[in-house]
Structure 1
Amino acid sequence: MSYAVVAHYRCAPADEPAVRAALLTMREHTRAEPANEAYEVHAVADEPGGFLLYERYADRAGFEAHKAAGHFRELIVETVWPLLTDRSVTFAEAL
């Protein structure tokens, strides 16, 4: 059963280049994970510093493995999250 994650990230416009670079690097690492089925990064139209991420994994265990990966800690926890002014995440299971 697929497990999807939709994340909305917002940062100050001055931090947008650093967040964008980290997210694009994260995309490459995540797409190489065995359980990853999709990882898309979008800049929110007309919202400087706004990003939308869509992620899909084979199952919830695949997502948990993603969160445990060293690149998640380095790129998301240590690089992106400290630069965010707002973050919301929605989790969903396929029917």
Structure 2
Amino acid sequence: MIDFKVHLENDIVSLVQTQENHFEGLYTVGMNPVIWEQHLDKDRWKWNNFRKYIDGGLDNKEGCFTIIDKEINKIIGTTRYYSFNQEEL
């Protein structure tokens, strides 16, 4: 089995495992409604919906990462792995 819970980085960004204390920084960058206009969950910018999204990431066994801009040392986003099952397509 692949260990998805690793630390990833290059010269520009660092991807660290998302932790509860990242929520405020993640919400600061994710609360702009424009970000979610073309997303299936257009209301994800709302606090309760965003909270549910981040909680899902924290519970994600494949891993959820907080993206940190290394130059300014600030949270700039999040990403995660999802399981894939060809039969579910």
TM-score (norm 1): 0.28
More strand, by proportion: 1
Whose relative contact order is higher, 1 or 2, with alpha carbons under 8 Å and at least 6 apart? 1
